[in-house]
Amino acid sequence: MLPWLAEPASDHLSTVRDTPLAKLVRDDMLAMILRGELRPGEHINEPDVASRLGVSRVPVREALRELEGTGLVIARKHAGVFVREPTAGEVRDLYEMRGLLDGFAGRRAARLEDAARTALANLLDASITAMDTASDAHDVQRYYRENLRFHWAIVEAADNHALAETYRTVVQKLHLSRLRNLAQDMGMRASIAEHTRIARALRKGDVARCEDLMARHVSDAYDRLQRRHR
């Protein structure tokens, strides 16, 4: 499951054992960033985080250094640590990389054995139904969460650890640029039609078409984003 779909970790810090404290703090702050509770450009106050979680500032500093390494936060000299705001160029580059990763995942998933591929296709169809419901209700955030589940199901089915880790990093960074758009309809109906074609190609085991549709879907999503900001 993607990190931003998880429940906050803060309630469990006192009960988790055998896990480094800095990692638990990092996961808690990561979840807050990806849920939009810490917004792009917002200052992260170390004392406030330490007080809220009931820890010292040492694991908070360690956690922030780890998050800086992922590109989700940035430290500014004499100013503190802030949630990053991706530039237009970074967003473009991330979409290009995501298109390559999604295409690769689609190709591998379409090559699954019949039983596994059918099970995945059924899951994707259920996800499309949920996206339809969200679109009818004009619930953009619900649609977006289901969109993430659709793509992550294909990435997991591809069964490639390096792909999954890279994809997670790329999508988390893109998420920062999408937070400010989650109240807007970014072409849900067109996107659902694209998801439907992907699911059909995967069900048929059409490797080349599934790869192409996945890559083009990401490119089309970027084009819709660009049109929104013109």
What residues contact residue 162 under an 8 Å CB cut-off, 6+ apart?
A: none
CATH at 17 = 1.10.10.10
CA atoms in the 13 A half-sphere facing the CB of 23: 5
Examine the domain organization and report whether 200 and 141 are in the same domain. yes
Q: Are residues 147 and 208 in the same domain?
A: yes
Q: Which of 68, 83, 98 is the last residue of a domain?
A: 83
Q: Give the three-state DSSP class for 130.
A: helix
SS3 (DSSP) at 195:
helix
Is residue 157 within 8 A of residue 112, CB to CB? The reply is: yes
183 burial class (0-12, 13-18, 19+ CB within 10 angstroms)?
exposed
Confidence check: pLDDT of 139 > 80: yes
CATH number at residue 211: 1.20.120.530
End residue of a domain, out of 24, 56, 83: 83
Asked if 55 and 131 sit in the same domain, the reply is no
Percent of residues, the chain, with pLDDT higher than 70: 87
**pLDDT digit string (tens) for 65-89?**
999 988 889 999 989 999 988 889 9
Boundaries of domain holding 40: 3-83
Say whether both 23 and 123 belong to one domain.
no
Based on the fold, state whether residues 69 and 95 are members of the same structural domain. no
Q: Are residues 133 and 204 in the same domain?
A: yes
Give the span between the Cα atoms of 40 and 179, in whole angstroms.
Answer: 8
Non-local (6+) Cβ contacts of 154 within 8 A are: 102, 105, 106, 109, 120, 124, 202, 214
pLDDT top residue among 3 and 140: 140
Q: In terms of Cα–Cα distance, which of 116, 11, 111, 3 is closest to 53? A: 11
What pLDDT sits at residue 6? 45
The rounded distance, in Å, linking the Cα atoms of 99 and 211 is 10
State the pLDDT confidence band at 5, using cuts at 50, 70 and 90: very low
Residue pLDDT, tens place only, 111-137 = 999 999 999 999 999 999 999 999 999
Closest CA to 211 of 110, 137, 129, 134: 110
Separation between Cα atoms, residue 33 and residue 53, nearest integer Å: 16
The encoded tokens of residue 38 equal 């810490």
Q: Are residues 74 and 154 in the same domain?
A: no
Q: How many domains does the chain have?
A: 2
What average pLDDT does the segment 32-56 reach? 90
Is the confidence at residue 98, as pLDDT, over 80? Answer: yes
